[in-house]
Amino acid sequence: MKTKKTVSKEIENIVAFYESLNEELENFSLPLEKLIQSKILISEKMGGKIAGIAGLGDKNLLFLVVKKEFQNQKLGQKLLAKVITLAKHRKYHFIALNVFASNVRALHIYKKFGFKIVTSNIMNSRKNYFMVLPLDLRGCIYEALLKLYFKCELYFVTHLYYVRRLWLSVKNFIEHKTKMR
Ligand SMILES: CC(C)(COP(=O)(O)OP(=O)(O)OC[C@H]1O[C@@H](n2cnc3c(N)ncnc32)[C@H](O)[C@@H]1OP(=O)(O)O)[C@@H](O)C(=O)NCCC(=O)NCCS
């Protein structure tokens, strides 16, 4: 069992790792306070130093970052596999995440592990995907309901746009006709 001292030492190491991030922050923007409070927080070491961290924060949102010099050595996938196993053990129903469409490496591993795109939006002027990985039946239902919700939202937003345009044309036509009298 880990003692309080080893746990706080590990947190210190994670804080030092977080503070050493630089280029990686282009695709990773979780505030340190949120990271420390996350429900699941794990790390992978290389040569005794933390090379990457991953976990689950608020609303089961996944975070994952590997230090530049250790990327492309399967560490990201190792961390992701561990988070999924832990989440299953703790009986979470699903894992969700946000990933920029341009982050092809992250997107590749998320799809490889079974995450599905539920919707897309624009975040900080960049295209972003919201992805979900169901872990049990309730997770599958949640994913299906979310997909339905976003489809309906899209339907109403597009159709309301046309209804509004039609209404404006009718209004303009009436105004024009009244002026001509
Ligand atoms: C995304 C990230 C966590 C991945 O970790 P990693 O340790 O580099 O990834 P891995 O080595 O485990 O796996 C990389 C996979 O991407 C593939 N890959 C590499 N470059 C790629 C590219 N340009 N396009 C598509 N796939 C690519 C590799 O082939 C490998 O897949 P494979 O095992 O099926 O062959 C890491 O790059 C990172 O920390 N990036 C910065 C922060 C970030 O983007 N976090 C995710 C936020 S959602």
pLDDT in tens, 112-165: 999 999 999 999 899 999 999 999 999 999 999 999 999 888 888 788 888 888
Q: Where are the domains of the chain?
A: 4-137
Superfamily of domain covering 4-137: Gcn5-related N-acetyltransferase (GNAT) (3.40.630.30)
Residue of higher predicted confidence among 34 and 163: 34
Predicted confidence (pLDDT) per residue in 43-92, tens digit: 999 999 999 999 999 999 999 999 999 999 999 999 999 999 999 999 99
From the alpha carbon of 70, which atom of ligand 1 is closest? Answer: 7
User: Nearest residue CA, atom 12 of ligand 1?
Assistant: 74
Distance from residue 118's CA to the centre of ligand 1 (Å): 21
The DSSP element (H or E) to which 150 belongs, if any, is: helix 137-180
Distance from residue 120's CA to the centre of ligand 1 (Å): 20
**DSSP tag of 27:** S
The total of other beta-carbon atoms located within 10 Å of residue 45's CB is 13
CA 151 from chain center: how many Å? 19
User: Nearest residue CA, atom 7 of ligand 1?
Assistant: 76
The answer to whether 91 and 58 have CB atoms below 8 angstroms apart is: no
- 104-118 in b/e burial notation, b at 16+ Cβ within 10 A? eebbebbeeeebeeb
Q: Which amino acid, one-letter code, is at 89? A: H
The reply to whether the predicted model has a pTM over 0.75 is: yes
